[in-house]
Amino acid sequence: MNDLRRTLLWSVFAVSLLMLWDGWLRHTGQASLFALAPTVAEAPASAASVTGVPSAPVAAQAAAPAVVSSAAAPAAPHELITVTTDVVKATVDSDGGSLVKVELLKHKSQQADQNMVVLDKTATHTYVAETGLIGSAAGQTLPNHTTPFVVVSKDRELAPGAESLVLTLESAPVNGIKLVKTYTFKRGDYAIAVKQDVVNASGSSIRPTLYLQLTRDGSTAEANSNPASFMGGPVAYTGMAVYNAKGKYQKLAFDKLAEGKVEFEKADDNGWVAMVQHHFASAWLQNDPVQREFYGKKLATNLYATGMLFGLGDIAAGQSKSFESTLFVGPQEENKLKALAPGLEYTKDYGWTHIMAAPLFWLLDKLHGAIGNWGWAIVALVVLLKAAFYWLNASAYRSMAKMKALNPRIQQLRENMKDNPQQMQQEMLKIYREEKVNPIGGCLPILIQIPVFIALYSVLSSSVEIRNAPWIGWIVDLSVKDPFYVLPALMTGSTLLQTWLNPTPPDPVQAKMMWIMPLLFSVMFFFFPAGLVLYWLTNNILSIAQQWFINKQLGVTQ
């Protein structure tokens, strides 16, 4: 049974190394050891065309319009309009009236002296939010995200004491149709209200379709921005996402779209589309029960789009129609995402650890609300978890203490019966029964901690709330590694002390490995987020205190 205990520990160690190797493969862009080929279906006919202008929904049976030309709309002076609030600095391009840059003033990028930029359009990177109209008749061209717009509002900065800043743009007429876009930026808010007015001055009725679209290149650098992302936890997802009541949260990975094959729920009367990356997201939201179609497609080399199509119904000559939606561009703050739209919190991607990570974050967030510091909230979380499992751990530690007390007898038995292994095992089992010792009982705390550890790793690496969050002194960001490796060094020392308190295996080789294993595990902690090392260090200290007390209570010498 003692051999069984060691076998179980070695199995845990082997699985951990396997997860480490799989994480390294994913970190370097290679296929996961556990990856399965998903079932896929051809992209719907309503997906975006290579021009970047979506075709009409399937129900409309209309051809995709051509890009607006100078003949259809007189050229207007091109300009980039920048507006600033207390939390964002946003840039709108007059060509198309699209949002082409959003800088978050309260969040720093990996270069600490620069603000985080989510949307951006440069020579090497494209990530923009676009809207426009599609005609119902074949070849009918309406204002879209390539049409020239003119700015008709003056304010560029949120005035002191004002709660909102409004930016209005009006398109050049296209076949007698004008599109007016109104962006409303609110104080302290990353959700931008977007109102679109379709003005029909064409002299005949029209039946347009409105599209809300996010276009991005396939760069996934942000997914691996966490230096510990290759250490076995889930790698942050970078790509598209679609959510509706029928299909729930569905990922549209860039590589699958590049193959021209995706599978997701394509129509519902609710839902949203998003672009997701580590810690940040953008999403088009419309929470009213309005029928819509979803699409996702590769537009060109390393360029992808996802969006929603809304039929606006008939608009008579001389009439206009308004459509309101919300564009979110900002950090994945879980509680705020939940309030914006159903399911939007899933853009904070916990991966396969979600079932445990979500409640752990809920508890950690409550503790932070009471304490006011994420580091001390992590310490408090460990205390609560240790209290919850106190009696279970106590039983395991008593088993380990009794094993330590029996160690001299077991070693003597192994020495006397080394030529008769079968009888030796029988005698060992007899001793364990007489002393009421479970040889594998000491493994239970380790087995319990592993899933909690992995889930907490996911919480700490995925939670933008902990990004740049300080603890004490030199720990200025709990989401990245300790810059001076103080916490990992203390954690290694505490692990070795805990090993010393455990019973020593009779086999000299296994006894040496018992000391080597903690050192191998400790190497990984030098690259883990400081918050995770703080969790494990606190857990070790409390475990040592509990085990030492039980050893002393049972009269076991150290």
**pLDDT tens, residue by residue, 437-447:** 666 655 666 67
C-alpha span between 118 and 276 (Å, rounded):
10
pLDDT of res. 456: 82
C-alpha span between 230 and 480 (Å, rounded):
13
**277 Rama sector, left if φ>0, alpha if ψ -120 to 50, beta otherwise:** beta
Q: Which domain holds residue 424?
A: 2-26+362-553
- Same domain? 170 vs 221: yes
Q: Pick the last residue of a domain from 314, 349, 384.
A: 349
DSSP state of 210: E
Confidence of residue 304 (pLDDT cuts 50, 70, 90): very high
Q: Domain for residue 357, yes or no?
A: no
- Average pLDDT of the chain is 81
Q: By the 8 A CB rule, do 340 and 328 touch?
A: yes
- Same domain? 382 vs 312: no
pTM passes above 0.75: yes
CA distances from 65 to 83, 266, 402, 554 (A): 31, 21, 79, 82
- Same domain? 255 vs 374: no
- Same domain? 430 vs 367: yes
- Same domain? 430 vs 509: yes
| Mean pLDDT in residue range 34-62 | 41
Q: Pick the last residue of a domain from 311, 327, 349.
A: 349
**Is 217's pLDDT higher than 90?**
yes
Tens digits of residue pLDDT in 410-464? 777 777 787 777 877 777 777 777 776 666 655 666 677 778 878 888 888 889 9
- Same domain? 52 vs 169: yes
C-alpha span between 197 and 177 (Å, rounded):
10
- Same domain? 9 vs 120: no
Read off the tokens for 112: 């600490």
Q: By the 8 A CB rule, do 212 and 273 touch?
A: yes
Q: Domain for residue 73, yes or no?
A: no
